[in-house]
Amino acid sequence: MPDRLERPQERPQQRPHARGRNPRRTSGGIPRLPWRRIVNRLGPIEILSVDQVEAIHQASLTILRDIGVQVLGARALDRFVTAGARVDREDGARGPAGQVRLDPAQVEELVALAPSRFELHARNPERGLVFGDRHLVIGAVGGPAFVTDLDRGRRAGNAADFDAFVRVIGSLDVIHQEGGGPLEPTDLPVETRHLDMYRTLATLLDKSWQCLAFGRVVVDDALEVASITRGVDRDTLTREPTLMTIVNTNSPLRLDGPMSDGLIEMATWGQPVVATPFTLAGAMTPVTLAGALAQQNAEALFMVALAQIVRPGTPMVYGGFTSNVDMRTGSPAFGTPEYVKAAIATGQLARRYGLPHRSSNVTGSVVVDAQAAYESQMSIWGSVLGGASLLYQGAGWLEGGLTASFEKLILDAEMLQQMTEVLQPIAVDDAELGLDAIAEVGPGGHFFGTAHTLERFETAFYQPMLSDWRNFETWQEDGGRTATERANRIWKQLLAEYEPPPLAPAVAEELDAFVDGRKREIVAGS
């Protein structure tokens, strides 16, 4: 990554776009859609009958009542005891643990406390987000240990690539939210790594970003960073949620200590949690989709219930991440027909409880190839048709989540831009019907030169960022680059041209003082 970023080329003046057509912004010739909230106007598909949804619901309540969830961590166990759950302590070498069982009526009462809609505030007020009410929020990839691009290949995540990836995310307005660290900066000290990550996210972006969830400390540090950059106190932050995080169960039926502590801390301060079991049919759940969904549902409801015990009304997102394994090798498979069906069914379950829900854009491919594209396209369609509120891992995910790819980030952004255009309504009025133009052209003519066309030719249709629609000879003369090779050029140009949104000097100074001070405290205490 260059030490100093080049200044972007001047953006060309654009004609005002007519109602119902496609506004876009360009940078150095790269067309991109502008920032906008997305509302999914497609009615969600229902793959399950009402009776089937209810059967899965009842099976989940049976699991929570008769089998329960193993919880590691004293704070969560104490909360469940106080709430009247049945807790069988089994403390051992791994520390405080217990099997927690919940009565069906209590589960339903607690889950009903979570809101069906909530807003998430960003440093830039214009980039706040809505979850629920058919809004679709698109998040970037989060959490891979590795990073890859065509030039340097696959390598361990590092701070320089973390910084560069965040900058490219900032350049793509189709991505509403950063996903909690696009890759792990493994060259930074483990104990203080989260602080460097938060500082990068808070300074390079003015859009929403996710914090880490593995423990009370990393959540509390994120809350302070969010308070500083938004210029608000903790009480305001509680009233106006700013952070979101993913809390996973260790399927089957286990919630570990760091995750339970992170969930409790988020709920204490009213910040939304995406409660997501990681359930792979045939490995972590029964091999059948019905069994996998019942277990997923039980684990998700368990986490929602815990958050409501901590703070009634805590915003929650019902997370679904059920896929299958390759029964020949045991490897996870993504973008499969089973994944799509599970994503659509998850939407029905979330609506059963009146909760926003999370889905993902995923692939098992290890490189940015045709497999990566068609598996991701399957995942995106499954999420949209299921009525997802949050499309997590929306851009950049590769190799089953082990790797963040710069080229895949661009490929996904292209597919997501196309999808968001599909979700825009069709304008139907006198001007759009174009009867005068039809009369002007008459039988056997063409519309290229009509006033109706000339008024709209710049903005009438979606203009791709990555696709190349030229004929073979022109494409070949220009280097014959594949989509992956073109994506390589695009992310490099976006990186070179990116200018972080301004942050007031006093705020930047306060943020640096907090991060540096906390790092000294952690090192001194270790």
H helices within 139-288, ranges in order? 159-171, 193-204, 216-230, 234-239, 257-268
Contact (CB, 8 A) for 419 and 385: no
**From CA 204, how far away is CA 202, in angstroms rounded?**
6
Q: What is the pLDDT of residue 408?
A: 98
Task: Count the helix, strand and coil residues of the chain and give each as a percent rounded to the nearest 5.
Answer: 45, 15, 40
H helices within 386-465, ranges in order? 406-422, 430-433, 435-441, 451-454
Contact (CB, 8 A) for 507 and 226: no
Q: What is the pLDDT of residue 280?
A: 94
Q: How far is CA 90 from CA 75, 176, 236, 357, 524, in A?
A: 15, 43, 39, 33, 34
Q: What is the pLDDT of residue 26?
A: 56
Q: What is the pLDDT of residue 356?
A: 98
**From CA 448, how far away is CA 454, in angstroms rounded?**
7
Q: What is the DSSP letter of 397?
A: E
**From CA 188, how far away is CA 87, in angstroms rounded?**
39
**From CA 286, how far away is CA 277, in angstroms rounded?**
14
Domain ranges of the chain: 32-425+464-526
Dihedral angle sign, alpha carbons of residues 1, 203, 267, 39:
negative
Q: How is residue 249 written in tokens?
A: 């169960």
For residue 483, what is the enclosing H or E element?
helix 483-497
Q: What is the pLDDT of residue 218?
A: 98
Q: What is the pLDDT of residue 92?
A: 74
Looking at the domain covering 32-425+464-526, what would its CATH class be?
alpha beta
Beta strands in 346-387 (DSSP E): 357-360
Q: What is the DSSP letter of 401?
A: G
Tell me the pTM.
0.93
Q: Which residues pair with 358 in a beta bridge?
A: 319, 390
**From CA 71, how far away is CA 264, in angstroms rounded?**
13
Read off φ and ψ for residue 256, nearest 5 degrees: -80, 170
Contact (CB, 8 A) for 423 and 41: yes
Taking alpha carbons only, the member of 378, 375, 373, 379 closest to residue 358 is 379
Q: Is 328 exposed, middle or buried (0-12, 13-18, 19+ CB in 10 A)?
A: exposed
Q: Is 448 exposed, middle or buried (0-12, 13-18, 19+ CB in 10 A)?
A: exposed
Q: What is the pLDDT of residue 526?
A: 76
pLDDT in tens, the chain (526 residues): 333 223 233 333 333 333 344 555 555 689 999 999 999 999 899 999 999 999 999 999 999 999 999 999 999 999 999 999 999 998 877 789 999 999 999 999 999 999 999 999 999 999 999 999 999 999 999 999 999 999 999 999 999 999 999 999 999 999 999 999 999 999 999 999 999 999 999 999 999 999 999 999 999 999 999 999 999 999 999 999 999 999 999 999 999 999 999 999 999 999 999 999 999 999 999 999 999 999 999 999 999 999 999 999 999 999 999 999 999 999 999 999 999 999 999 999 999 999 999 999 999 999 999 999 999 999 999 999 999 999 999 999 999 999 999 999 999 999 999 999 999 999 999 999 999 999 999 999 999 999 999 999 888 999 999 999 999 999 999 999 999 999 999 999 999 999 999 999 999 999 999 999 999 999 999 7
**From CA 501, how far away is CA 457, in angstroms rounded?**
32
